[in-house]
Amino acid sequence: MEAFNEWLAATPFSLLIQTHFWAIPSLQIVHIICLAVLFICSFMIALRVLGKSWLDTSPAEIAQRFGKPIWICLLLLLLSGALLITAEPGRTLGNWTFWFPEPMR
């Protein structure tokens, strides 16, 4: 895995991201905002399913309203996450906590 991390870190695309000081923080901002939006949309759907909010709106309307932002955020999370991994493969792929998140330990 270490050889792959070194190879990926040395690719021109990875070096391009690494050499622009604003690239990694910008990707992290996008990633975190998308996580927040995804959480909020999921929370709103859960509130409707539990009957705690949006009682005058059908579950189908709630799903339609929040479905598009959820899918957009998932796509942006995939893209920004892949770019972050490409930019810093040793920090992510080489770290065992990346592969086994806290609840799974």
Per residue in 26-54, pLDDT tens? 999 999 999 999 999 999 999 988 989 88
Phi/psi at 52 (nearest 5 deg)?
Answer: -100, -15
State the Cα–Cα distance between residues 15 and 86, nearest whole angstrom.
Answer: 9
Query: How is the chain split into domains, by residue range?
Result: 2-95
Helix extents (H) in 12-105: 12-19, 23-49, 59-87, 89-92, 96-99
| Measured distance CA(28)–CA(92) in Å, rounded | 13
d(CA 54, CA 46): 10
Q: Kindly report the pTM of this predicted structure.
A: 0.81
pLDDT score of 3 = 87
Per-residue DSSP letter, 2: H
